[in-house]
């Protein structure tokens, strides 16, 4: 019996050890393309919050620039589409790659989708959550170079100490009011954007040519 248990534990350990590398991204296409600039398209918003695209767009350029890439000013990009009669994100995402490259001169385009954004009240807790995914596409070839996703919540910033039911109910209500009035989503969107895109994050973008770490592996490629 002991031998059987030991064998099962050993097998589980081996499977766990093999699971980590399989979750890391293949950066071969990204490395071969070696992009220098990224065009961020207005996000598709699947959340009920109408301000979600603006909240995320305001935060998304920083981790890309800090990773070493030139980021086209998101306000200028949005106005360019607007002047050409495109105001819906789905329609903008449908524009062909050749047109995007011709108009903006970008190496790549980042297609972002927002799944969650905003503050919700659920009996004993009130959290502000932002979750999004993104795809980086080479505008010259149409090849997908990178995919990523992330989720962030205000619950991560609060203590999980035991509390009475009354205190928890009051706290949830107060948190919802405060986080709604202070637009907590803007702050949480910054955390989610950084987790998803930063070269310092697991499976984030490769370091770009403007970064002093250009050519170094990202977190998922580093030896532990």
Residue 34 backbone class (left: φ over 0; alpha: ψ -120 to 50; beta: rest): left
Report pLDDT for 127: 79
Query: Shortest CA distance to 134 belongs to which of 147, 124, 118?
Result: 147
Report pLDDT for 128: 84
What CA–CA distance (Å, rounded) separates 190 from 157? Answer: 14
Dihedral (CA of 159, 161, 164, 165) sign: positive
**Domains along the chain with CATH numbers:** 24-202 (3.40.50.10610)
Helices 184-197 and 165-181: crossing angle in degrees, nearest 10, is: 80
Q: pLDDT tens, position by position, for the chain (224 residues)? A: 434 333 433 443 333 333 334 467 899 999 999 999 999 999 999 999 999 999 999 999 999 999 999 999 999 999 999 999 999 999 999 999 999 999 999 999 999 999 999 876 554 456 788 999 999 999 999 999 999 999 998 766 554 444 544 444 444 444 444 444 346 778 899 999 999 999 999 999 999 999 999 999 888 877 64
Q: Which ranges in 23-134 belong to alpha helices (H)?
A: 28-33, 52-66, 74-83, 89-93, 97-104
Q: Indicate yes or no: pTM above 0.75.
A: yes
Report pLDDT for 8: 35
């Amino acid at each position: 019996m002991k031998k059987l248990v030991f064998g099962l534990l050993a097998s589980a350990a081996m499977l766990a050890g093999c699971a980590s590398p399989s979750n890391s991204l293949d950066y071969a296409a990204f490395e071969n393309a070696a992009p220098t600039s990224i065009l961020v398209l207005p996000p598709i918003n699947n959340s009920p919050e109408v301000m979600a695209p603006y909240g995320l767009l305001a935060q998304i350029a920083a981790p890309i620039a800090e990773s070493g890439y030139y980021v086209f000013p998101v306000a200028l990009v949005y106005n360019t589409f607007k002047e050409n009669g495109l105001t819906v994100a789905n329609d903008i995402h449908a524009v062909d790659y050749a047109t995007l490259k011709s108009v903006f001169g970008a190496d790549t385009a980042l297609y972002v989708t927002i799944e969650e954004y905003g503050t919700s009240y659920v009996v004993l807790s009130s959290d502000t959550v932002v979750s999004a995914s993104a795809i980086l596409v080479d505008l010259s070839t149409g090849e997908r170079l990178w995919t990523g996703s992330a989720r962030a919540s205000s619950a991560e910033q609060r203590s999980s100490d035991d509390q009475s039911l009354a205190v928890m109910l009051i706290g949830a209500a107060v948190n919802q009011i405060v986080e709604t009035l202070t637009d907590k989503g803007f702050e949480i969107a910054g955390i989610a954007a950084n987790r998803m895109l930063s070269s310092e994050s697991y499976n984030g973008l490769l370091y770009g040519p403007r970064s002093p770490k250009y050519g170094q592996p990202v977190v998922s490629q580093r030896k532990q």
